[in-house]
């Protein structure tokens, strides 16, 4: 999709109500649904995090969305997985929006003043790491080459917006993870990567929003 056309839809996106949990549940594997039900009844004092879904034009002015492949870390249950730039809230962050902007700068080299925050999306709780994550949608109008933080980012995944919106890229796959064996999960296939779990759930809320205006 042409980026200029996409940017014209931003005011409408800002005014739209969030699809929320209904869009999350479409991407939640059965074992995650049970974890989410338990989480509602248990107060676990989750850690807070903010992440940024960055929309930007490529050299042909085609709208893209940035994902990252995280570096493998033996003690991190989310290592070597696909996600958005972002991370844990720090004391200096005034709110999770500031967290998402700071982490995006650190991880992919986009300074906060160059990002127009479009909208905050619904929080999502991640049981394996006890994090509650707040995603934001951001517009990066005059994109420059990304500068990945090598210690955290193994690869940049630049996804065409049209690929996210294409139903052909939604499927179900059987996976084995560090905390689940041979589980069937709903997922997106984007740039050859399987995107599922919390990232897939966040993506599906954004996808639902965008489908209503594009």
**Domains with residue ranges and CATH for the chain:** 3-206 (3.90.79.10)
| pLDDT bucket at 126, cuts 50 / 70 / 90 | confident
Cβ partners under 8 Å of residue 133, min gap 6: 48, 49, 50, 51, 86, 123, 124, 125, 126, 198, 202
Task: Please say if the pLDDT value at position 207 is more than 80.
Answer: yes
Among 138, 134, 130, which Cα is nearest to 105's? 138
The values of phi and psi at residue 154, to 5°, are -85, -30
What pLDDT score was predicted for residue 66?
98
Question: Which of 144-153, 177-186, 199-208 is predicted with the least confidence, judged by mean pLDDT?
Answer: 177-186
* DSSP code of residue 78: T
pLDDT for the residue numbered 184:
82
Burial of 88 (0-12, 13-18, 19+ CB in 10 A): middle
pLDDT of res. 143: 82
pLDDT, tens digit, for every residue of 1-29?
999 999 999 999 999 999 998 899 888 87
Predicted TM-score (pTM) of this structure: 0.91
Residues 93 and 105: beta-carbon distance below 8 Å: no
Whether 202 and 135 have beta carbons less than 8 Å apart is answered as yes
Question: Is the pLDDT assigned to residue 41 strictly greater than 70?
Answer: no
How many Cβ atoms from other residues are within 10 Å of residue 117's Cβ? 15
d(CA 196, CA 22): 16
pLDDT, position 4: 96
Residue-averaged pLDDT of the chain: 90
Residue 204 φ then ψ, to 5°: -70, -35
What is the Cα–Cα distance from 137 to 187, expressed in whole angstroms?
A: 20
- How confident is the model over 188-211, as a mean pLDDT? 95
Least confident of 20-24, 93-97, 182-186: 182-186
| CA 189 to chain centroid | 14
Q: Choose the weakest-confidence range: 42-51, 164-173, 201-210.
A: 42-51
User: Looking at residues 183-208, what average pLDDT do you find?
Assistant: 93
């Amino acid at each position: 999709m042409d980026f200029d056309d996409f940017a014209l839809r931003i005011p409408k996106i800002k005014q739209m109500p969030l699809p929320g949990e209904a869009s999350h549940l479409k991407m939640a594997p059965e074992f995650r649904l049970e974890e989410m039900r338990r989480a509602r009844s248990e107060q676990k004092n989750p850690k807070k995090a903010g992440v940024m879904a960055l929309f930007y034009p490529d050299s042909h002015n085609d709208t893209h969305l940035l994902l990252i492949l995280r570096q493998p870390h033996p003690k991190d249950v989310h290592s070597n997985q696909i996600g958005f730039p972002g991370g844990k809230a720090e004391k200096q962050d005034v709110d999770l929006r500031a967290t998402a902007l700071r982490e995006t700068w650190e991880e992919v080299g986009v300074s906060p003043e160059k990002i127009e925050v479009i909208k905050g999306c619904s929080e999502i709780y991640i049981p394996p790491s006890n994090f509650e994550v707040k995603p934001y949608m951001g517009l990066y109008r005059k994109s420059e080459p990304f500068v990945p933080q090598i210690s955290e980012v193994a690869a940049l995944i630049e996804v065409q917006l049209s690929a996210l919106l294409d139903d052909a890229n939604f499927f179900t796959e059987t996976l084995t993870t560090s905390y689940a064996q041979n589980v069937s999960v709903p997922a997106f296939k984007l740039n050859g990567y399987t995107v599922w779990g919390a990232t897939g759930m966040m993506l599906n809320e954004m996808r639902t929003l965008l489908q209503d205006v594009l």
